[in-house]
Amino acid sequence: MAQDKTLYIVDDDPAVRDALSVVFEAEGFTVESFSDGDKFIESASRKHPACVLLDVHMPGRSGIEILKALNAEDYPAPIFIISGQGDIPMAVEAIRNGAYDFIEKPFTADAVVQRVEEGISASNRTTLDVSGTFQGAEHLTRREREVLTEITGGASNKEAGRKLGISPRTVEVHRARIMEKLGARNAADLVRIVLGH
């Protein structure tokens, strides 16, 4: 496990921080919680936890601004965005800015623990990486390369999501970004680009 199973919780609501802390400490995590983004960024730049739970609505810096400040696309730990039901466009924006996935409120303790465990194990897993020799490869993030490896291997969004521990909707967002970055018109085009044909 990365950094001895430390989990960072970033939420301005003390009730949410306390509830999540109790749940994850019971699962053997060391929990550090933050009520504002600046203190979190300061700590997260010095030490990398195994996982981060970040509320999208924060006073001062929003969850999106925090992701940008952390350069989340290249951050070594998965960052889950916690969002309410009306925040789906914002959650999609968070994924575009490097969030690993989003967890929708209201959620159960079991569901959030399972998602975090899957995220950590997927991040620690070394998968067959797509070769970095094709045109535009340098523009892809680590997560986009993982998604690309799955989809060029023939996995559906659902299968890729299950393997990587993210939702099919998150795979769709990454897939769209990969195609845009590589200038691919469809999946066949994408495979041709990766294979260098």
Query: 17 and 81, same structural domain?
Result: yes
What domain range is 165 assigned to? 137-195
Token match 């997927």: residue?
122
Query: 115 and 150, same structural domain?
Result: no
**Structure confidence by residue, pLDDT tens digits, 126-177:** 444 465 677 888 888 888 888 988 887 777 888 889 888 889 899 999 999 9
Where residue 93 sits, what CATH number does that domain have?
A: 3.40.50.2300
Residue at a domain's end among 79, 96, 124? 124
Query: 184 and 93, same structural domain?
Result: no
Over the chain, what HEC string results? CHHHHEEEEECCCHHHHHHHHHHHHHCCCEEEEECCHHHHHHHHHHCCCCEEEEECCCCCCCHHHHHHHHCHHHCCCCEEEEECHHHHHHHHHHHHCCCCEEEECCCCHHHHHHHHHHHHHHHHCCCCCCCCCCCCHHHCCHHHHHHHHHHHCCCCHHHHHHHHCCCHHHHHHHHHHHHHHHCCCCHHHHHHHHHCC
- Predicted local distance difference test score (pLDDT) of residue 85: 64
Query: 82 and 8, same structural domain?
Result: yes
How far apart, in Å, are the Cα atoms of 100 and each of 15, 52, 90, 93? 24, 9, 14, 12
Query: 184 and 112, same structural domain?
Result: no
Say how far residue 150 (Cα) sits from the centre of its chain.
16
Query: 169 and 74, same structural domain?
Result: no
- Residue 125: which pLDDT band, with cuts at 50, 70 and 90? low
**Structure confidence by residue, pLDDT tens digits, 33-72:** 999 999 999 999 888 899 999 998 888 888 999 999 998 8
Residue at a domain's end among 124, 153, 176? 124
Domain count along the chain: 2
Query: 70 and 43, same structural domain?
Result: yes
| Cross-strand bridge partners of residue 82 | 55, 103
Query: 8 and 84, same structural domain?
Result: yes
Q: What is the mean pLDDT of the chain?
A: 85
Q: Is the dihedral of CA 92, 97, 99, 103 positive or negative?
A: negative
Query: 141 and 114, same structural domain?
Result: no
